[in-house]
Each structure stands twice: as C-alpha cells, then as structure tokens.
Amino acid sequence: MTDYKIPRDLEKDVVTRIYTKADEAQWRHLQDAERTRLYQEWTEDPEIGGRLLGFVGQQSNIRPWLKDCPMKEYERARRGEGKYAKYVMRPAATLEQMVAATAGRGWEIISGTIQQKPMRARIREVGTETEERHFVAGPVANLKHLLWPAILDLSNGGIWPWTICVVDPFRAPVPPERREEHRRVANFLGVQVVYFEEM
C-alpha cells in the first residue's frame, strides 16, 4: 500500500465519516456485495473520495486506501485498539470488558500481553501471580483463527489454559447446533469456549 501524505485533519474527518456510515450500515453483518456497494458510494462521495483525490493521485486509488487502511482496522478500532480507535463514535466492548463479562470481575489482563490477529491476552485472578489463562476473542466466523494460537501453544507444551471467547451478536446469535459443535471441538482440544453477547 502506497504511503499517501494525507493531512491528519483530513484523515480524521474522512475516517470518522466512514466509520459512522459503516456503523449505521451494520458493517459486521454485511455481505461482500453490500460492502462493495458502500466502497463505491464512499469513493464517489465528495466529502470522502472527493477530499482524498488530491492526495491519492487518482480515483482508482481511493477504494484500496479505504479498504486497506481504515476499514482493515475497523473491528480493532471499535474495540479501542489501534490508531483509528479515536475516530469511532459508538465503540464496541473492549477486551477488558469481555474478560470481566465472561471470566468475572475477579480477573484482569496482565499488562503488556495484549496481541492482535486474533485479539488476545493473558489474564489472571486479581491479587495472584499463579492463576493465569490465555484469553482470545473474536466473531464466530473467525473461530478457526481464534483456536489456532491455542493449538500452537498447546502443541509446544504450553501450560496455561485457554479461553476462547466467541462474540455472539444479539442480531444474529450463534445457533444451538453451532454451540454444540464448538463444545465438541473445545473438549477435543482441551480449551474452554465462552460467549460474549453483544448488542
């Protein structure tokens, strides 16, 4: 991706605008065709693509910049992570909030352990140095990616247990048959699967 010299104020205005529009359209639930339509709409919008045009060279560069920069970071930004987090108007639950909701308020994220792709950290019971777990969270569509760090760790002799937190959207909850499938996989791997209901 070309490193365009987009002024900070312009980037802020454009990213805030597309994040608001993505939120209104419920981006997480859109099919690829609907996302493509929105990218085209934003590219042609004078307040988005029109303002970027002078900095990206030509109109054909607008969509790739939108897709590979702000929208690639959209889910992380919604959860308070990354350089674009400050442009999100209606943030989603943070990793800390998901830990508190699923493990209990007696658990905390160990400082300096948060990682991305997938979003994960080590957690421990407050006031202890010995009760630690790995905690990884993400949407059900990414379940195999959530499980992979646990598989690698356990296959290399890792000793701390793993909690896989599936974000369960209120609008499209994980059906019982999928939960049963998750239970079988969790039992097979020796990990715990929990669900975080998100409005």
In this structure, the answer to whether residues 137 and 42 fall within a common structural domain is no
Provide the pLDDT for residue 129. 78
Is 1 a domain residue? no
Q: Is the pLDDT of residue 3 over 80?
A: no
What's the pLDDT band for 33 if we cut at 50, 70, 90?
A: very high
pLDDT digits over 181-191, tens only?
A: 999 999 999 99
Q: What integer best gives the mean pLDDT of the chain?
A: 93
**Burial bucket for residue 108 (CB in 10 Å: 0-12, 13-18, 19+):** middle
Q: What percent of the chain has pLDDT over 70?
A: 99
Asked which of 33, 60, 87 is the last residue of a domain, the reply is 87
Taking CA atoms, 135 is separated from 22, 68, 89, 106, in Å, by 28, 27, 26, 14
Average pLDDT of 143-154? 96
Task: Name which residue leads in pLDDT, 133 or 117.
Answer: 133
Domain range spanning residue 108?
95-198
| Count of domains for the chain | 2
Task: State how far the Cα of 169 lies from the Cα of 187, in Å rounded to an integer.
Answer: 24
pLDDT digits over 35-65, tens only?
A: 999 999 999 999 999 999 999 999 999 999 9
In this structure, the answer to whether residues 113 and 183 fall within a common structural domain is yes
Q: Is the pLDDT of residue 1 over 60?
A: no
In this structure, the answer to whether residues 113 and 67 fall within a common structural domain is no
Asked which of 36, 61, 87 is the last residue of a domain, the reply is 87
Provide the pLDDT for residue 2. 64
- Could you tell me the pTM of the whole model? 0.79
